[in-house]
């Protein structure tokens, strides 16, 4: 490692900062550390950069935040020069962008690929972290920065006989780099969240037969993706700073154009007109049609009813349409964005397997047994999601003060201060961790917000000769209570979803993200401006 031994403090440690993960967060964090003259190293499990966009290379993988917003803004030249080709970028284009960023800022030599961080423990005497990798290496660092992503720890359900399946089996979150040949084959997809909804229409075009195994139907709205208009791109770039600033003032940090009216004040004609406008415009702005769709069950129901009607219009077989129709709140389990998902079920080679009528019993060597009979399959795609927000952090054996593990500390749910700091775990930062806006915001600006905050904090420590920073237990308790209180002002926590951890058996039910990007930024800035209130510095 080129930076080894160049600690600014000369205290004999290997690095000032070890960063885990080379996705959007890890790359920018590395750039920040390098720019500040610190020695830093990124450890990355994969053999390339990209994080989420490296692993989720399944057919149809695409972002559902517009390209002009789902990109870095820390470097004006970068954002002016990069040309996005579509309104919503494909996985491949985002990966090319991140590779470009890596080389443009000279980051590659400071990334150790094919190396998984397995454990980290805080040394109370030296104030450093000892970090172990799965190849048996150990390095020391003052700061440990977990840039491990919100949706990176794959969730694979335990289904009897899965290992004995003789066909091809892949999780969407770990798609084989040379793809899977599905042409003319019998293909099964388990799961109908965002990943399943994106992959199914693509597989249906190639497969001989596609079987979609659905346990819970999901709400999805069309993306209406299209090539990005050159004039539109130019106009945004002409005022990019203002455009970004405007986005940051919105609830999710995305320019959805939140409707000013209440759904409860609108009559049937206005509801239909507004929702239809949003449906035609495409994307997640659908649930911003009225300002109160996440405030009350009644308001939310107006949007849910509209999509239910759409499903029955699109899907020709009424029985299949009914099986695809969720009778839940909309958007409280992450809203999906698709390219022809419901219409896929009008194809002759596509079958919906409704698991509410008969659960998956087990795999055989040649298929899946459902409700007593076998669905023969050549390929099975697990679109079964992630152990969101906490999974990637807890899968590393992290030990803080007194040898207390993060797993022990979070046994009843995650506790953080501002989403990135954890009492008892000094000098550790989690980028877009639980208790931050993260998955309820545009993740790239949220990442930049956290990285900038951590960068400023470390600079403050250097300036004032501090070696160790740690959130106080009181500040953490208050933050956890605040995150929960804000969440419970909305109807989000009412629904089962990965937002509350209910998709992973045994995971404590806690609403994980913080609702409200502008409020979060204000609070974080205030803490820094006031000299890091809620922290102990020594
Ligand atoms: O995961 P999910 P995902 N038997 O948890 C089912 C982001 N993302 O990977 O609902 C049968 O949403 C499970 O069923 P149920 C986005 O934030 C973004 O799709 O628990 N089924 C569910 O249907 C998204 O929300 C993009 O009853 C089983 C599915 O698997 C997040 O990632 C694209 C099962 C999991 O859905 C996660 O999405 C992709 C079992 N034993 C992902 N276990 C875009 O930017 C689980 N399921 C567009």
Point out the domain boundary residue: 359, 382, 405. 382
300 pocket-lining for ligand 1 (C-beta < 6 Å): no
Pocket test for ligand 1, best of 225, 370, 385 (most atoms within 8 A of CB): 385
By residue count, the chain amounts to 538
- Give the mean pLDDT of the chain: 96
Residues 208 and 230 in one domain: yes
Domain membership flag for residue 164: no
Q: Say how many Å lie between the CA of residue 382 and the centre of ligand 1.
A: 9
Measure the CA–CA gap between 68 and 237, rounded to whole angstroms: 9
Q: Are 387 and 111 in contact (CB under 8 A)?
A: no
pTM score: 0.97
504 pocket-lining for ligand 1 (C-beta < 6 Å): no
Residues 217 and 366 in one domain: yes
**β-pairing, 138-146 with 128-133?**
antiparallel
CA-CA distances (angstroms) from residue 418 to 179, 494, 524, 528?
40, 23, 7, 11
Residues 364 and 506 in one domain: no
Domain membership flag for residue 167: no
Report the interhelical angle of 240-248 vs 443-464 (nearest 10°): 90
Residue 481: other Cβ atoms inside 10 A = 10
Domain membership flag for residue 472: yes
State the sign of the Cα–Cα–Cα–Cα dihedral 154, 159, 163, 167. negative
Measure the CA–CA gap between 279 and 222, rounded to whole angstroms: 7
Residues 314 and 399 in one domain: no
Q: Say how many Å lie between the CA of residue 504 and the centre of ligand 1.
A: 11
Measure the CA–CA gap between 40 and 29, rounded to whole angstroms: 9
pLDDT digit string (tens) for 332-361?
999 999 999 999 999 999 999 999 999 999
Q: Which atom of ligand 1 sits closest to the CA of residue 159?
A: 41
196 pocket-lining for ligand 1 (C-beta < 6 Å): yes
Q: Are 284 and 337 in contact (CB under 8 A)?
A: yes
Q: Say how many Å lie between the CA of residue 385 and the centre of ligand 1.
A: 4
Task: Spell out the residues 6+ positions from residue 404 whose beta carbon is closer than 8 angstroms to its own.
Answer: 424
| Domains identified in the chain, total number | 2
Domain that holds residue 437: 6-49+107-153+387-537
- Indicate whether 9 pLDDT > 60: no
Residues 434 and 288 in one domain: no
pLDDT, position 10: 55
Please tell me the residue having the least CA distance from ligand 1 atom 22: 191
User: Rounded to a whole number, what is the distance in angstroms from the first to the last CA of the chain?
Assistant: 29
pLDDT digit string (tens) for 263-307?
999 999 999 999 999 999 999 999 999 999 999 999 999 999 999
Residues 359 and 406 in one domain: no
- One DSSP character per residue, 97-163 reads HHHHHHHHTT-GGGEE-S--EEEEEEETTTTEEEEEETTS-EEEEEEEEE---SS-SB-----TTGG
In percent, the amount of the chain with pLDDT more than 90 equals 97
- Indicate whether 4 pLDDT > 80: no
Residues 346 and 394 in one domain: no
């Amino acid at each position: 490692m080129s930076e080894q031994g160049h600690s600014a403090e000369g205290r004999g440690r290997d690095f000032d900062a070890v960063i885990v993960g080379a996705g959007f967060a890890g790359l920018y964090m590395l750039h920040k550390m390098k720019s500040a003259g610190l020695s830093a190293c990124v450890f990355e499990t994969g053999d390339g950069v990209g994080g989420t966009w490296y692993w989720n290379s399944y057919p149809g993988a695409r972002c559902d935040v517009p390209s002009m917003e789902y990109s870095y803004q820390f470097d004006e030249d970068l954002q002016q020069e990069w040309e996005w080709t579509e309104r919503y970028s494909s996985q491949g284009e985002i990966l090319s962008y991140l590779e470009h960023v890596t080389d443009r800022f000279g980051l590659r030599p400071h990334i150790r690929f094919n190396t998984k961080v397995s454990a980290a423990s805080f040394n109370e005497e030296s104030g450093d972290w000892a970090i172990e990798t799965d190849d048996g290496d150990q390095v020391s660092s003052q700061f440990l920065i977990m840039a491990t992503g919100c949706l990176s720890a794959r969730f694979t359900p335990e289904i009897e006989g899965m290992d004995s399946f003789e066909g091809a089996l892949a999780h969407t979150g770990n798609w084989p780099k040379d793809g899977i040949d599905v042409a003319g084959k019998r293909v099964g997809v388990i799961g109908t969240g965002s990943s399943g909804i994106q992959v199914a229409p693509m597989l249906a075009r190639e497969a001989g037969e596609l079987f979609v195994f659905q346990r819970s139907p999901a709400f999805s709205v069309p993306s209406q993706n299209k090539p990005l208009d050159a004039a539109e791109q130019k106009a945004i770039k002409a005022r990019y700073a203002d455009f970004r600033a405007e986005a940051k003032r919105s609830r999710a940090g995305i320019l959805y154009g939140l409707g000013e009216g209440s759904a409860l004040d609108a009559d049937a004609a206005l509801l239909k007109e507004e929702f239809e406008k949003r449906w035609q415009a495409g994307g997640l702005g659908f649930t911003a049609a009225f300002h109160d769709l996440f405030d009350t069950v009644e308001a939310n129901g107006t949007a849910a009813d509209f999509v239910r009607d759409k499903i029955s219009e699109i899907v020709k077989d009424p029985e299949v349409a009914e099986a695809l129709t969720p009778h839940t709140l909309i958007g409280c389990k992450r809203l999906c964005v698709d390219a022809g998902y419901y219409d896929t079920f009008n194809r002759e080679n596509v079958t919906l397997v409704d698991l509410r009528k008969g659960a998956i019993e087990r795999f055989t060597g040649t298929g899946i047994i459902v409700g007593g009979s076998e669905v023969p399959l050549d390929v099975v795609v697990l679109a079964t999601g992630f152990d969101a927000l906490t999974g990637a952090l807890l899968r590393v054996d992290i030990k803080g003060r007194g040898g207390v593990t993060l797993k022990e500390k979070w046994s009843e749910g995650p506790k953080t201060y501002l989403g990135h700091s954890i009492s008892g775990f000094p000098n550790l930062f989690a980028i877009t961790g639980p208790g931050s806006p993260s998955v309820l915001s545009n993740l790239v600006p949220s990442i930049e917000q956290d990285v900038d905050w951590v960068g400023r904090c470390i600079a403050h420590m250097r300036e004032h000769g501090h070696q160790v920073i740690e959130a106080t237990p009181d500040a953490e308790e208050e933050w956890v209570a605040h995150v929960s209180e804000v969440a419970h002002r909305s109807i989000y926590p009412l629904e089962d979803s990965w937002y509350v951890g209910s998709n992973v058996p045994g995971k404590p039910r806690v609403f994980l993200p913080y609702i409200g990007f502008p409020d979060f930024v204000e609070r974080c800035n205030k803490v820094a401006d006031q000299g890091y209130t809620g922290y102990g510095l020594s």
